[in-house]
Amino acid sequence: MSYLSETKLSRPNLPHRLSEIAFVIFLVQLCCLVAWAHPEISTSEDDTTVIVGDAPDQEVYVIGKSVIVNKQAKGVLAIGGDVTIEGRIEGDVATIGGNVIQKKDAYVGGDIIVFGGAYKPESDNPLREPGRETVMFGVFEEELRNFGQNPSQIFSPNLSLSFIAQRLVLALLWFVISIVMTTIAPGAVGRAVARIQLSWLKIVTLGAASFLLLTGLMIGGALVLPNYLSATLAIMGMLLLLLSYVFGRVSLQVSVGKLFQKHVLSEGNRSETLATLIGVLAWTLVLSLPYVWLIALFAVFTVGIGLILTGRSGPKWQTP
């Protein structure tokens, strides 16, 4: 795994740009329909490349294809393909699972953001607008390209040896995380497990409503708020989501493991470590099932947020 970040001149709007890119990914298929309506945008004969002619007011969003800008475009986002710039792009250029290739006399007026690829200018001094940024994350190149070319695989991943090995490694990682959390904060995890058993409906309802509200605020803030406010809101939201996912998953794993021990194993074979291991394996399996994993992932987030919002100390929540 490699990481490279290059900044031409410091500007405070990069988090805002990243938030915009995330929102565009969510709506990109609808945007593609708009792009195809422009007469200056066409596809190659093999249907693998989008060719942009003279479209200075057009934002081009593409999934599973590469993009070549022959003359002009306002901005380009390609998922699972390369962006080759032969003419001018006045705005931003971004790709996920691809490369941005800037020809010798090409011009880019906005930022260049690359996830799972590289920025490859043919000139030593590429024509760029001063003060714009170049950010590259060279991670999971093949995975991101394959996802862009076949987005449906996110719902139904292919069962292969590498996929099984990856699941086993993740199970080991979550087992270690769960053991560490239950060792450092046994009271917090114990009260969370008790709350799940006593009032799971309240936790799920509150967590789901808060999750949807938080997601809406983050997307809305990225679109309408000033840069510094949207960046602050995005960071706070991501921290809350990360905390809720880790705490929610650990609590659910321990809860499932305890339920399994209670109904299946005898008292002589019960232990906290065994319960944690059983819960980790169960949730790793559920989160690996095609289509089902999306529901399970949403459940982890909602339970985690619900547990954080209902967290308190008191005898009512103590485990017996």
169 plus 76 within the same structural domain: no
267-286 pLDDT per residue, tens: 777 788 999 999 999 999 99
Check residue 283 and give its pLDDT: 94
Check residue 85 and give its pLDDT: 94
128 plus 202 within the same structural domain: no
The boundaries of the domain holding residue 275 are 159-317
What CA–CA distance (Å, rounded) separates 177 from 292? 23
Last residue of a domain, one of 120, 151, 182: 151
163 plus 32 within the same structural domain: no
Buried b (16+ CB within 10 A) or exposed e, 292-312: ebeebeebbbbbbbbbbebee
Q: Mean pLDDT across the chain, nearest whole number?
A: 81
165 plus 309 within the same structural domain: yes
Last residue of a domain, one of 87, 116, 151: 151
List the beta strands (DSSP E) in the chain. Answer: 4-6, 41-43, 49-63, 66-79, 83-85, 88-89, 93-96, 100-102, 107-108, 112-115, 119-121, 127-128, 134-137
Check residue 291 and give its pLDDT: 82
For the beta carbon of residue 177, count every other beta carbon within 10 angstroms.
16
Backbone angles phi, psi at 33, to 5 degrees: -60, -40
* Cα dihedral: 255, 258, 263, 265 (round 10): 150
- Total domain count, the chain: 2
Helix (H, G, I), strand (E, B) or coil at 67: strand
Ranges of the chain whose pLDDT falls below 70: 1-39, 139-141, 143-144, 147-149, 151-158, 312-320
In contact, 19 and 234? CB cutoff 8 Å: yes
Last residue of a domain, one of 93, 128, 151: 151
DSSP string, 164-212: HHHHHHHHHHHHHHHHHHHHH-HHHHHHHHHHHHHHHHHHHHHHHHHHH
Check residue 312 and give its pLDDT: 61
